[in-house]
Amino acid sequence: MSEDLHSHSHSHADVLNDSNDHSQEHGHSHGHDHGGHGHCNHSHDMPSSSEQEAEMEAISSVVTSFLYYKTYALNNAIYRRLKCIDELSEPHRQIVASLGTIDKIKRAETLIRENYKLMLDIVYSSSVGSMPDPAGDAGVFKEWLKRFFEVRQSAGKQEVSDSHMKKLYGTMKLFVRDWSSEGADERRLTYGPLIEALEDEFSDIAPESRGSVRVLVPGAGLGRLAYDICCRGFSTQGNEFSYFMLFASNYILNSSLEERQHAVYPYIHQFSHVACSEDQMRAVYIPDALPRDMPYSATAEFSMTAGDFIEVYGADDEKEKWDAIVTCFFMDTAKNVLAYLDTIWHALKPGAVWVNLGPLLWHFDNVAGESSIEFTRDEFLELAVKMGFVFDESKNKEDILLPYTADPKSMLQYTYHAFMCVARKPK
Ligand SMILES: C[S@@+](CC[C@H](N)C(=O)[O-])C[C@H]1O[C@@H](n2cnc3c(N)ncnc32)[C@H](O)[C@@H]1O
């Protein structure tokens, strides 16, 4: 129970941070393009060989998680449970069997195998960072895979860490939030106010003429907010540094051929807080919208960049490039939020707007060996004012009740009391 509570109390970090292995998950920023609907050209220097090695290590640990998903999930979610039932006394075992519990677990096994096909598809459809394109020369890709397994082995790494698998499970839930019709309510509550504020800001420009308005979405997750903003006519760029997110968003954004093309079983690993087995076994279909059918693709560009927000957008060539920056469940991912604010300031044009919505689950709070400065909401707002931002007080809102990758059918529900603010970098 306490483990559950812990993971839920950090639930929006599930896909992101864990105390031990930040460095193994994140991109090192050299601003790769990502997303086939437009281009952003970052003229950053080529990474050094040690940076390349670090990137290889980061990608390999994430790819390994995708590839070991089946083994890990079967061992942890299925075989362990079947063994416990096997060890029951015969009368108890028969009662349990009569409830259908064993059949349920076996059904879960089948669905984990289905999830695995999707995980493999994601890895084999992606080309992220310096990883060769799996759709290209098969020999080159195999050689690359072999190399990274060797690198891992020689580094004495266990095949896959619990924290990485938790992030992979979290990524499946993010598919629901961002790319399924089941996630529509969560998106309406969360992305809705941000998009509304943006539309309000640029209400004098018709959607077909908004392509010259450049909107940046740092910490873009699986890219839906950025995509939805682009669907309103704005040229939009999402930025991410987690390879879990980059693999998954790359897959959805670039490989989707039809709506509801893939079934994912995101709740299959969860045996607690379940009212009935249909809830746990249910499929969620993705995507609910086809990224390649963007309504304003002739006028608005869409792209994703890989890399740390501060490194990519703190660069000289990003100075005063953006008309709006939209942060959603992002500001609290900072170790030092002043550095995020500095970067937002640097990247915004004079007079441009920053729209923010989220809770304050400081991701590095109490993480061993990491620095972290946590602020209250009031301190955070004051900090932004002291750094020069001017708030539109009429648009600041408190106590916005929000779920995050919630399973609406779960017997356990968490709600964030988030806040929203709209600020401007003065001219
Ligand atoms: C809590 S998630 C929110 C994702 C998305 N905005 C949403 O609302 O669903 C925060 C995201 O920020 C990303 N992130 C955290 N720190 C980052 C950084 N310094 N640069 C780029 N992305 C970062 C994480 O990988 C994660 O996907």
Helix residue spans in 74-183 (DSSP H): 80-86, 90-99, 101-125, 138-154, 162-179
- For residue 76, the enclosing domain spans 46-160
Domain membership of residue 154 (yes or no) is yes
Domain membership of residue 17 (yes or no) is no
Minimum-distance ligand 1 atom for the alpha carbon of 327: 6
Orientation of helix 337-347 relative to helix 377-386, angle to 10°: 40
Minimum-distance ligand 1 atom for the alpha carbon of 309: 20
Residue among 227, 194, 209, 243 at smallest CA distance from 303: 227
Q: In this predicted model, what pLDDT tens digit does every residue of 105-152 receive, in sequence order?
A: 999 999 999 999 999 999 887 655 556 655 566 677 667 666 666 665
200 shares a domain with 97:
no
Domain count, the chain: 2
* CATH assignment of the domain containing 355: 3.40.50.150
Distance CA 91, CA 24 (A): 48
Candidate from 242, 367, 420 with most ligand 1 atoms within 8 A of CB, to mutate: 242
107 shares a domain with 238:
no
pTM above 0.95, yes or no: no
Candidate from 241, 332, 371 with most ligand 1 atoms within 8 A of CB, to mutate: 241
221 shares a domain with 140:
no
Minimum-distance ligand 1 atom for the alpha carbon of 358: 8
Give nearest CA residue, ligand 1 atom 13: 219
Distance CA 262, CA 249 (A): 14
258 shares a domain with 223:
yes
399 shares a domain with 268:
yes
Give nearest CA residue, ligand 1 atom 25: 242
Q: For position 269, what pLDDT does the model report?
A: 96
Q: In this predicted model, what pLDDT tens digit does every residue of 294-318 receive, in sequence order?
A: 999 999 999 999 999 999 999 999 9
Cα 278 to ligand 1 centroid, rounded to whole Å: 31
Domain membership of residue 2 (yes or no) is no
285 shares a domain with 156:
no
Q: For position 123, what pLDDT does the model report?
A: 86
Q: What residues of the chain score a pLDDT lower than 70?
A: 1-48, 126-138, 141-142, 144-159
The residues lining ligand 1, judged by C-beta closer than 6 Å to any ligand atom, are 12, 15-16, 177, 218-221, 225, 239-242, 245, 308-309, 328-330, 333
Domain membership of residue 37 (yes or no) is no
Q: For residue 393, what is the DSSP state? A: G
329 shares a domain with 392:
yes
Q: For position 14, what pLDDT does the model report?
A: 37
Provide φ and ψ at 271, rounded to 5°: -105, -5
Q: For position 43, what pLDDT does the model report?
A: 33
Domain membership of residue 399 (yes or no) is yes
What is the tally of helices (H) and strands (E) in the chain? 15, 11
- Which residue carries 């002291």 as its tokens? 386
Q: CB neighbours (10 Å) of residue 153?
A: 10
Q: For position 24, what pLDDT does the model report?
A: 52
211 shares a domain with 119:
no
Q: For position 368, what pLDDT does the model report?
A: 93
Give nearest CA residue, ligand 1 atom 14: 219
260 shares a domain with 142:
no
